[in-house]
Structure 1
Amino acid sequence: MRTLVAGLIIVGLAAPAAAQKMNAEEFHRRADALHKKGSRALLSMGEIRALTKEVRAAGELIKARRIAAEKAGEKPRYCPPKGASRRMGTDEFMARLSAIPRPERQAIDMAEALNRILATKHPC
């Protein structure tokens, strides 16, 4: 199950963007509920797709912003390693998302949450 959710998160980071619809707290709540289902989460493909779409949109948005900052000669918020694996497991992703205080998660979208997560994992 962890591999499935981790794979969906990673695919979400690399796929085309779609409009974001939930704040980071809602995403956290829904992803945590799905994670707690364990193998029964496979029965919730609609929820998995919704969360994947959200991460995909966030990933594409922050990637575009990072590339634009680099082209403009500005320091990006995060600097992914070149040539190395960028994979982040579900447990690590959820732990990093959980580390953002709940009031802040309620006030930010997933793009900002993902930016914060990657800025701590891959600082410039």
Structure 2
Amino acid sequence: MEDACADEDEVNTLSALVLAEKAFAQVLGTFERMPDIVRTGEGTEEPVKTESFQDDLSEIFEVFQKLGISLQESDPISSENCLREIRTSFPLSDFKEDMEYLERQIKDYNFDGARETIKELKNKVQIRIYDESESMRE
């Protein structure tokens, strides 16, 4: 982690540390629950979606906006940090292929293509949220 953040300023380093701490906490929580998960078979069926996804909307679109700015500035490090934040903080498993494609574009320095992909991804997320809110009303 220290080597990865060597060229970063203090704000970006602290941001990366917060994300790493969240990820480690999630992993630790899962390991602590592992005996119960194995015994009960928890996690073998499709996870139940909650309204917390909608609660995270403003945050995810804020990170999408930061990512868009990073891509506009052709900043691969900031772009990868934003992408990492999106992957670790938001339940976007339904958009795995889009996220992998976006990650490849950033790694290949295809910032113009990545900006288009992020626009498409934002639209897909908005459509999914609208569909979920409609199904909750029924």
TM-score (norm 1): 0.26
Which structure dedicates a bigger proportion of its chain to helix? 2
Structure number, greater radius of gyration: 2
TM-score (norm 2): 0.24
Q: Which has the higher contact order (CA 8 A, sep 6+)?
A: 1
